[in-house]
Amino acid sequence: MRGAARAASPPTISSPMRSNSMPPTAARWPRILSEHLVPVAEPLTVALEPGGEASPRAVVSSAARALLDGAPRANSAASPIWPAWLAPHQVPAAERLTAIIARHGGALLADEVGLGKSYVALAVALARHEPFTLVVPAVLVSQWRDLLTRFGQHAVPIITHESLSVSTVRPSDRPTAAFVVVDEAHRFRNPDTNRYRALARLVVGTSVLLVTATPIHNAVADLLNLLRLFLRDHALAALGLPSLRNAARREADGSLAYAAVGRVIVARSRERVRTGYDGGPVSMVFPRSTTETMRAGPAPETLIADLVAGVTRLRAGGGAAPLLRLMLLRRLGSSLPAFRAALTRHDAYLDLAARAAEEGRALRSPIFSSSCFRCCSTTAAMAPGSLTIAVRWLACASCSPAPPQWIRNQTR
């Protein structure tokens, strides 16, 4: 090998500013290492943009709206025009929810009962001017359908909580809507249920508005599990919550979790609404609750013991028998009238089931539900003795397709 190895020379990089008539020049670019980085003395100055002079009140208001993901006042022309049927106290909630959804892809409306959460949710959905889907309990389908019809929304698809519990959502079952409103969302607080997993698959790629007055039943984990339906696990890391999953497992400070999730929640009490906003107190009239004390003597212990023994012997219904026994015991623990109503429903069901079997048709849920409610509302009170008779018949109903006529006479 001839000569000594020549020292490596720095790379020659063409200057981006040269013209074609100039020869390339060597430029030595500085090397920036992470060890050389230092924090900015005033971080806020990096985010601020120069603007016109304003009063301290306007500056504070603008800063607060920016921290809460709200649109600036000057950009109010771009904000949606809210329908006239929204009450004055509902408009700020709709504005805040719209801003949260635009920033985080979802929001939680947890206003107190009586503040009109359904109207706010519908207004937010309509303001997006895109198809949306409702996920509601079966008992609220008619209520929501009436509300939609009142405002000319006849083609909005509605999915029930119960349908998510008993089936898996296939890709073909997913709605084409880009926005999903989930009413009574607290029923999805447990991620280990079929219902939760089905909803999680359903809302992939959509924006979500969760609606419930009671987002927390047992612990803050209930709330965090709801937010995981539309937030990524690390979405609130900048607010001191590195992982929603770990926080739900109680691996994070509870107070810190409450502070962080407040960015995606609108939750107001009636007192907060009465106090009002910048425009002064809001005039609202809530129904006053009245208490009435009703005294009743204890039921005879022998009757209660006989009823409990009858329910315990109940074996009809196959695998559903334990659930049926639990339901009857809970009704009995509530009151004799509640227990009587439960027996009346079962009596109505057996009548319909026997009639359907004779006619060779299936017993559909809507037919049973409407008949049961009609039966329960018109059935006279049973005497204590007939309660015992009915329970004794239920205990041996597995060998009889329908109650004998004398039992029907006793229980009606």
Domain containing 106 — which CATH number?
3.40.50.10810
Summarize the confidence of residues 65-69 as an average pLDDT: 65
Sorting pLDDT into bands at 50, 70 and 90, what band is 47?
low
From 275, 291, 322, the end of a domain falls on 275
In sequence order, the 6+-apart residues with CB closer than 8 A to the CB of 249 are 221
CB distance 71 to 79 below 8 Å: yes
In degrees and rounded to multiples of 5, residue 26 shows phi and psi of: -85, 130
**In this structure, are 267 and 309 located in the same domain?**
no
Other beta carbons within 10 angstroms of residue 330's beta carbon come to: 12
Is pLDDT at 70 greater than 70 in this prediction? no
Is pLDDT at 404 greater than 80 in this prediction? no
* CA 315 to the chain's CA centroid: 37
Sorting pLDDT into bands at 50, 70 and 90, what band is 80?
confident
- Among 76-80, 178-182, 326-330, the minimum mean pLDDT is found in 76-80
Is residue 32 in a domain?
A: no
As a whole number of angstroms, the distance between CA 295 and CA 303 comes to 19
pLDDT value of position 38: 79
**In this structure, are 261 and 347 located in the same domain?**
no
**In this structure, are 328 and 260 located in the same domain?**
no
- Among 89-93, 132-136, 225-229, 289-293, the minimum mean pLDDT is found in 289-293
As a whole number of angstroms, the distance between CA 125 and CA 131 comes to 8
Give the type of residue at 229. Answer: L
pLDDT value of position 193: 92
pLDDT value of position 200: 93
**In this structure, are 267 and 362 located in the same domain?**
no
**In this structure, are 229 and 343 located in the same domain?**
no
Is residue 38 in a domain?
A: no
Q: What are 95-125's pLDDT values in tens digits?
A: 999 999 999 999 999 999 989 999 999 999 9
> Which among 204-218, 226-240, 351-365 has the top mean pLDDT?
204-218
> Which among 46-50, 91-95, 284-288 has the top mean pLDDT?
91-95
**In this structure, are 225 and 363 located in the same domain?**
no
**In this structure, are 176 and 101 located in the same domain?**
yes
Q: What residue numbers bound the domain in which 306 lies?
A: 301-410
pLDDT value of position 293: 81
**In this structure, are 88 and 190 located in the same domain?**
yes
Is residue 384 in a domain?
A: yes
**In this structure, are 112 and 251 located in the same domain?**
yes
| 8-state DSSP, 306 | H
Is residue 61 in a domain?
A: no
- pTM score of the predicted model: 0.60
pLDDT value of position 383: 45
**In this structure, are 168 and 316 located in the same domain?**
no
Pair of tokens at residue 152: 């000319």
Name the nearest CA neighbour of 392 among 409, 407, 372: 407
Is residue 1 in a domain?
A: no
Summarize the confidence of residues 190-199 as an average pLDDT: 93
pLDDT value of position 147: 94
The residue with greater pLDDT, 412 or 299, is 299
Whole-number percent of the chain with pLDDT over 90: 29
**Mean of per-residue pLDDT scores for the chain:** 76
Summarize the confidence of residues 252-265 as an average pLDDT: 78
**In this structure, are 262 and 309 located in the same domain?**
no
Sorting pLDDT into bands at 50, 70 and 90, what band is 282?
low
Is pLDDT at 43 greater than 80 in this prediction? no
**In this structure, are 81 and 191 located in the same domain?**
yes
Whole-number percent of the chain with pLDDT over 70: 68
